[in-house]
Amino acid sequence: MINVLIVKKEDRILEISVDGHANYAKQGLDIVCAGVSAVVIGGINAIDELDDKVVFDVSANEDTAGYITYRSIKPTYEEQLLLKSMVISLQSIEENYSKYISIETREVKQ
């Protein structure tokens, strides 16, 4: 299963972590993994290309578990809009493939 963790403070997204594999189908044919990967990588690339003022950190590990974390360091309005769009896209995948992806949102007080 793919586990998505969204860490928020009030309405601001601080971090999005994606971990695991859907196991919907064999590697190379797994539309759930492909969809989640396209949404997350595409969203991060869009933030990087479209927002010159944002500061963020990405850590990834392509081992057997599959893992990527996006951390917002110096947020901007544009970054938050793109992150919210990413979350909506992931939620759409979860609505249709809930056996293969789980999304948890955690509110922090910091």
Task: Say if residues 8 and 55 touch (Cβ distance below 8 Å).
Answer: no
DSSP 16-68: EEEES---SSSTTT-HHHHHHHHHHHHHHHHHHHH-SS-EEEEEEE-STT-EE
Catalytic residue list contains 75: no
Catalytic residue list contains 21: yes
Q: 90 — phi, psi (to 5°)? A: -65, -40
* β-strand partners of 5: 17, 104
H or E element, residue 102: strand 101-107
Q: Which of 7, 33, 39, 44 is catalytic?
A: 33
Q: Which residues are catalytically annotated?
A: 21, 33
